[in-house]
A and B are shown apart, each in its own frame.
Chain A
C-alpha cells in the first residue's frame, strides 16, 4: 500500500492567491482528517470526514478555509485568499474503524 498521498509536497505562493492541497487516503479507510502544524500552535485538527461526510469542522480557522471530499479516494483543502499566517505544514491522515490514524508526508505551505 502506498500510504496516504499528499500533493504538492511544497507550495510557495503570494498573499491573496488561492491554494489547493490534495490528499488521497489509504484505500478502504473510511475516515479522513486534515491537520495543521506550526511551531507556535503545534498540531491542530482542522476538519474530519467520515464516509465522505464532514463530521466536525470546528477547527477550521475561518471562512477562507474550505474542505471537500467528493469521493472515498480524494479530498481537498482550499485556502482563498491565502495570508502569511497560513504558512504551516498541512497533514492529511486516514483511518479505518476509527482506530489509529495514518499520516501523509505533509504539504509545507509558505505564503509570502
Chain B
C-alpha cells in the first residue's frame, strides 16, 4: 500500500535561514512524488514534482526537493526562508504503475519567524 509520512507537524525557521520540510514515502515500484503548498483560506498549489531523472528537482518560489531512493525520502528545501513562505506544506506520492490516485501526507505547518 502507498503511504506518505511527514514526521513534523510544525517547523519553525528564522527568516533568511535555510529550511527543510521532511517527507518519507512507501510505494510499490517507482514513485511519482509531489509537494504542494496551502496558504490560509486557499486551495492547494502545486510546487514541484519528481517523475524521473535528476534527483534534485527545482520548483516554484525558489523551493527544491531531493529524491533519495535508498532512504525513500523527498525532503523539501529552500536556501533562504522568507516570511511569506509561512504556510501548510503537503507531500504526496503515487506509484508510477498504478492508477491516478495520489496519497497526501498530513501536512507540515511552516512558520518563518521575522
User: A42 CA to B107 CA in the complex, in Å?
Assistant: 8
* Residues on A with beta carbons closer than 8 Å to the beta carbon of B51: 99
The number of residues on chain B lying at the interface, defined by a beta carbon within 8 Å of a beta carbon of chain A, is 19
Contact A106:B34 (CB < 8 A) given known A98-B94, A101-B102: no
User: A103 CA to B43 CA in the complex, in Å?
Assistant: 6
Within the complex, the shortest CB–CB distance from A94 to chain B, in Å, comes to 10
A105 partner, pick from B34, B36, B42, B101, beta carbons under 8 A: B42
Main secondary structure, interface of A, reads: strand
| Contact across chains for B45 and A50 when beta carbons are under 8 A apart | no
Within the complex, the shortest CB–CB distance from B95 to chain A, in Å, comes to 10
| Contact across chains for B99 and A105 when beta carbons are under 8 A apart | no
The number of residues on chain A lying at the interface, defined by a beta carbon within 8 Å of a beta carbon of chain B, is 21
Minimum CB distance partner of B92 in chain A: A101
* Residues on B with beta carbons closer than 8 Å to the beta carbon of A4: 43
Type the 1/0 row for B19-54, where 1 means its CB is closer than 8 Å to any CB of A. 000000000000010101000001111100101000
Contact A106:B43 (CB < 8 A) given known A99-B32, A99-B51: yes
| Contact across chains for B46 and A102 when beta carbons are under 8 A apart | yes
Most chain B CB inside 10 Å of its own CB: which residue of A48, A95, A100, A106: A100
User: A95 CA to B99 CA in the complex, in Å?
Assistant: 12
User: A48 CA to B100 CA in the complex, in Å?
Assistant: 9
* Residues on B with beta carbons closer than 8 Å to the beta carbon of A91: 43-44
A-contacting residues of B (Cβ < 8 Å)? 32, 34, 36, 42-46, 49, 51, 90, 94, 99-102, 104, 106-107
